[in-house]
Amino acid sequence: IGATVFPTGLSQGSTWNPQLIQQMAQIIALETRLQGAHIGYGPILDLAREPRWSRVEETFGEDPFLISKLGVSFVVGLQGDEAKSGRNVYSTPKHFVSYGVPVGGHNGQQAIIGERALFSDHLMPFKEVTEAGVKTVMTSYNSIDGITATSHKHLLKDVLRDQWGFDGFV
């Protein structure tokens, strides 16, 4: 209410313009702060690899490189250099991880995915935003090869925290 409405993530992704995405995120951050909030739930870093999935339009697309670059720009735009600036909010990239490849295209269904695709494609955007200094991450609502994402020790602790050095909150 009372804030700017921007195009969907898929439309944003079609720009292939990281600077424009960063400017948009700066506006979102300022408007969010002016309404009294301190955190933003984005960017969506899911890869749109299952066309039947009902949330495809929320993503930047299907390419992990593009999603990584736009995701970093979105995070930097929201968070800025100083969270206490009065102009910035914490960014919460989502959905960690492989939410965009649910079985049968049904939202929240498990992702059956191999290690190579998981690490080379789906985790790439999250690794990039972690290196850019993101402070929060939202897990996905699915399971990955039968392990619930919200309690996936290997991905949340071993990879996100220990290997990548993420020290924010999930």
pLDDT one-digit tens code per residue, 12-65: 999 999 999 999 999 999 999 999 999 999 999 999 999 999 999 999 999 999
Cβ atoms of 117 and 110 within 8 Å: the answer is: no
C-alpha 78/C-alpha 52 separation (Å) is 30
- Cα 64 → chain centroid: 11
Residue whose C-alpha is closest to residue 125's, from 57, 48, 56? 48
| 109-148 pLDDT per residue, tens | 999 999 999 999 999 999 999 999 999 999 999 999 999 9
Element (H, E) at 73: helix 64-79
Reply yes or no on whether the pLDDT at 169 is more than 90.
yes
- Encoded tokens for 14: 């079609």
Q: How far apart are CA 166 and CA 136, in angstroms?
A: 9
